[in-house]
Amino acid sequence: MCGIFAYTGNKGKEAGGVLLDGLLSLEYRGYDSAGIFTPESGSVRSPGAVAELRKKMPKDFAGKSGIAHLRWATHGEPTEKNAHPHGSCDGEIWVVHNGIIENFKELKAKLERAGHTFSSDTDTEVLTHLIEEHLKHEKSFEKAALAALNEVRGTYGIALQYKKEPDRIIAARMGSPIVLGLGDGEHFIASDPTPILPHTRKVVFLEDGEVAVISPDGHRIFKLDSTKVKRDATDIDWSAEAAQKGGYEHFMLKEIMEGPEVIENTLRGRLIPEKGLAKLGGLETVAKQLEKIDRIIIVACGTASYAAQVGEYMLEEHARIPVEVEIGSEFRYKKPVVNERTAVLAISQSGETLDTLEAVREGKRHGALTLGIVNAVGSTIARETDAGVYNHAGPEVSVASTKAFLSQLTALALFTIFLGRQRGMTAAQGKEIARALKELPKKIQAILDTKEEIQKLAKKYAHARDFLYIGRKYNYPIAYEGAIKLKEISYIHAEGCGAGEMKHGPIAMIDENFPTMAIAPKDSMYEKMISNIHEIKARKGPVIAVATEGDKEIAKLADDVIYVPETLEMLSPILNVVPLQLFAYYFAKEKGLNVDRPRNLAKSVTVE
Ligand code: M6R
């Protein structure tokens, strides 16, 4: 997720100021690097957020139109050379992009053979060179841009500017949002309405496969095949803050609702379903070393450590390699037994959690191969590990981690196929997991569509002061994750517990005021879970069950049931956690608490 903003006007405004203000309001979409271009003054780019860009801009930076960008890095480190806008060889064509061009490697190779020189490591830069190439044969910039867009695969929300036509800007959308702002003598393009709202409330949302051209006095929309599109403008009554949250009340809800898109982004270009293989570019350099390791230690903290525990079950069952999970804050103090046949895998959304980072360094000191599953590109853990897999979940603003957790589990499933196929997993097994992974986005959407039901449940139980969460096997870590979500944003006592372990202590707490959330899908542990639920009911404990669609038996036993679609047992945590995230969200909202910024917590814990 990056932020783009473009402006063209004849009202005498300085585009530089308009664009910088717009970027500031978009900063929640990315803060790895920022950049700006106007035909009059050229481009200025800087690593870091908008304040850094502002410092670098010369006092005489001028222009009546321009494009600007905030980057959340996906391909290439968050450096100045990788910051947008990117230009063509002749410096005439400039682009800002949000999304991923999947076939950029083949396009880049073709363009390099045709004599183009690239100056960044990004996928985005192929766009300008491709348009430059098409401009050799096409009659107009617009036609060349269309030809290029018809050649790329992947997702994009873009704004393009051509120096020779300074007051026209082209936008296009495929998978990444684009909105046009229609003003009087000025027009805008942005990733969402936030930067447009101070100027006009009249907007037009582009749909996938649509292209738009704006100039100070108007706009046109057409499809990739040039057919005209007529679309009425919408009047937006959101505040700028609501617009940043996509109209949701909190970032946490917005990020939970992004689940289907996040899984698609984590999977994009990484599965070869017909062969039952996972293609993880970031692990290619260490693929041979991975064949030789005999043990994996996964290091992580908090929510990431619960993803790690699910990963342990996935990897041991399907890749047949011993896995241990270590809490980052403990690992380096316990004199771990690690050698060059060990892989230390760090899981971290921020890539900056100090304890996880120190655990990686400890692994390195002992000669281990170090790997990362990290969301923030170019973060310290991403840089210090030997190889890794990026989540591609986009920035997570809410302190409570939700969408990053889904992407961590998805990346672990991909890693399981990758490693499993090196170690005896059959193509048929690989295909089965790949197929099930591809079905997850629509299944998550089906759960999200029941959010009003979950909200009602949260209201019903909002009086509770304590909660027990239980699960077994793959859903044992999900019990802990459900509990941490509730306690960190609601400040109530919530305990995660392996359902089989309950009899060894926690069941003593159960009475009619102590509800239990039981994660009980129809899998290999179903009968055992049913017995555990009976034990709670025998002590008058209220039970909410998270169960598989169509399971009528559980409805007779539990007080309330949240149904989720069926999937493979190893992937069921990815679905089962979603209602728990929604339940925690609505529970805290019911209590009127600051959901996105809970007391005493920081998004990234960079101290011991
Ligand atoms: O950035 P990281 O993934 O390394 O962060 C790890 C934990 O601090 C984090 O998951 C924390 O537990 C969340 N607030 C939980 O929602």
3-class DSSP state for residue 370?
strand
Name residue 544's beta-bridge partners.
Answer: 517, 560
Residue with CA nearest ligand 1 atom 11: 302
pLDDT at 267 over 80: yes
Task: State how beta strands 543-548 and 202-205 pair.
Answer: unpaired
pLDDT at 577 over 80: yes
pLDDT at 482 over 90: yes
Is the CB of 303 within 6 Å of ligand 1?
Answer: yes
Is the CB of 354 within 6 Å of ligand 1?
Answer: no
Residue 18 maps to which CATH number?
A: 3.60.20.10
Q: What is the mean pLDDT of residues 46-73?
A: 93
> Of 573, 574, 345, which is closest to residue 440 (Cα–Cα)?
574
Give the per-residue pLDDT at 30.
80
Cα(250)–Cα(258) distance, integer angstroms: 13
Is the CB of 307 within 6 Å of ligand 1?
Answer: no
pLDDT at 544 over 90: yes
Cα(148)–Cα(143) distance, integer angstroms: 9
pLDDT at 192 over 90: no
Residues 437 and 458 in one domain: no
Other beta carbons within 10 angstroms of residue 452's beta carbon come to 9
Q: What is the mean pLDDT of residues 61-71?
A: 96
Residue at a domain's end among 447, 471, 493: 447
Whether 466 is covered by a domain: the verdict is yes
Residues 438 and 454 in one domain: no
Is the CB of 344 within 6 Å of ligand 1?
Answer: no
Residues 405 and 391 in one domain: yes
Mean pLDDT of the residues in the chain: 95
Mutational test site, ligand 1, from 299, 301, 405, 409, max ligand atoms within 8 Å of CB: 301
- Distance of CA 596 from the midpoint of ligand 1 (Å): 14
Least confident span in 53-62, 74-83, 297-306, 478-487: 74-83
Whether 605 is covered by a domain: the verdict is no
Q: Which amino acid is at 32?
A: D
* Ligand 1 atom at shortest distance from the alpha carbon of 349: 3
Higher pLDDT, 194 or 424: 424
- Containing 316, the helix (H) or strand (E) segment is helix 302-318
* Contact (Cβ atoms closer than 8 angstroms) between residue 567 and residue 440: yes
Q: What is the mean pLDDT of residues 283-296?
A: 97
Question: Predicted confidence band at 376 (pLDDT cuts at 50, 70, 90)?
Answer: confident
pTM for the complete prediction? 0.81
Give the per-residue pLDDT at 176.
85
* Contact (Cβ atoms closer than 8 angstroms) between residue 404 and residue 374: no
Whether 169 is covered by a domain: the verdict is yes
Give the per-residue pLDDT at 75.
72
Q: Which two tokens stand for residue 339?
A: 């050698």
Sheet holding 42-47, edge to edge: 42-47, 33-38, 65-71, 3-9, 186-190, 179-182, 202-205, 234-235
Is the CB of 380 within 6 Å of ligand 1?
Answer: no
Give the per-residue pLDDT at 282.
95
Cα(80)–Cα(46) distance, integer angstroms: 5
User: Catalytic: 223?
Assistant: no
Beta strands in 302-395, from DSSP E residues, in sequence order:
323-327, 342-348, 369-374, 387-390
Residue count of the chain, please give it: 608
Residues 199 and 285 in one domain: no
Name residue 358's beta-bridge partners.
Answer: none
Question: Predicted confidence band at 600 (pLDDT cuts at 50, 70, 90)?
Answer: confident
Give tens-digit pLDDT for 326-353.
999 999 999 999 999 999 999 999 998 9
Query: What's phi and psi for 278, nearest 5 deg?
Result: -115, 135
Higher pLDDT, 76 or 232: 232
- Distance of CA 603 from the midpoint of ligand 1 (Å): 7
Task: State how beta strands 369-374 and 387-390 pair.
Answer: parallel
Is the CB of 46 within 6 Å of ligand 1?
Answer: no
> What's the domain range around 171?
3-240
- Distance of CA 400 from the midpoint of ligand 1 (Å): 7
Q: Which two tokens stand for residue 342?
A: 């060990």
Using CB atoms within 10 Å of the CB of residue 416, give its burial: 0 to 12 exposed, 13 to 18 middle, 19+ buried. buried
Using CB atoms within 10 Å of the CB of residue 109, give its burial: 0 to 12 exposed, 13 to 18 middle, 19+ buried. exposed
Mutational test site, ligand 1, from 252, 298, 303, 354, max ligand atoms within 8 Å of CB: 303
Q: What is the mean pLDDT of residues 481-510?
A: 96
Q: What is the mean pLDDT of residues 246-271?
A: 95
Q: What is the mean pLDDT of residues 175-181?
A: 90
Question: Predicted confidence band at 379 (pLDDT cuts at 50, 70, 90)?
Answer: confident
pLDDT at 237 over 80: no
Question: Predicted confidence band at 394 (pLDDT cuts at 50, 70, 90)?
Answer: confident
**Angle, vertex CA 513, rays to CA 507 and CA 515, nearest 5:** 60
Give the per-residue pLDDT at 607.
72
Residues 388 and 284 in one domain: yes
* Contact (Cβ atoms closer than 8 angstroms) between residue 372 and residue 345: yes
Is the CB of 402 within 6 Å of ligand 1?
Answer: no
Residues 538 and 589 in one domain: yes
Residue at a domain's end among 447, 464, 494: 447
- Distance of CA 552 from the midpoint of ligand 1 (Å): 36
- Distance of CA 302 from the midpoint of ligand 1 (Å): 5
Residue at a domain's end among 447, 466, 498: 447
User: Catalytic: 139?
Assistant: no
Is the CB of 353 within 6 Å of ligand 1?
Answer: yes
Write down the residue that tokens 């800087």 correspond to: 46
Give tens-digit pLDDT for 395-427.
888 999 999 999 999 999 999 999 999 999 999
What spatial distance separates the first Cα and last Cα of the chain, rounded to whole Å?
Answer: 30
Q: What are the helix (H) ranges across 120-274?
A: 125-135, 141-149, 240-244, 251-257, 259-267
Residue with CA nearest ligand 1 atom 12: 302
Residues 194 and 249 in one domain: no
Is the CB of 495 within 6 Å of ligand 1?
Answer: no
- Distance of CA 152 from the midpoint of ligand 1 (Å): 36
Question: Predicted confidence band at 74 (pLDDT cuts at 50, 70, 90)?
Answer: confident
Residues 81 and 204 in one domain: yes
Q: Which two tokens stand for residue 109?
A: 């190779």
Whether 601 is covered by a domain: the verdict is no
* Contact (Cβ atoms closer than 8 angstroms) between residue 477 and residue 309: yes
- Distance of CA 485 from the midpoint of ligand 1 (Å): 11
How many distinct structural domains can be found in the chain?
3
Residues 69 and 198 in one domain: yes
Residues 474 and 567 in one domain: yes
Mutational test site, ligand 1, from 299, 345, 349, 488, max ligand atoms within 8 Å of CB: 349
Whether 203 is covered by a domain: the verdict is yes
Is the CB of 533 within 6 Å of ligand 1?
Answer: no
Other beta carbons within 10 angstroms of residue 98's beta carbon come to 29
Whether 603 is covered by a domain: the verdict is no
Give the per-residue pLDDT at 437.
98
Residues 108 and 136 in one domain: yes
Mutational test site, ligand 1, from 309, 347, 350, 358, max ligand atoms within 8 Å of CB: 350
Whether 607 is covered by a domain: the verdict is no
Is the CB of 401 within 6 Å of ligand 1?
Answer: yes
Residues 418 and 541 in one domain: no
* Contact (Cβ atoms closer than 8 angstroms) between residue 16 and residue 43: no
Q: What is the mean pLDDT of residues 297-323?
A: 98
Whether 602 is covered by a domain: the verdict is no
Least confident span in 47-61, 199-213, 590-604: 590-604
pLDDT at 78 over 90: no
Residue 434 maps to which CATH number?
A: 3.40.50.10490
* Ligand 1 atom at shortest distance from the alpha carbon of 381: 4
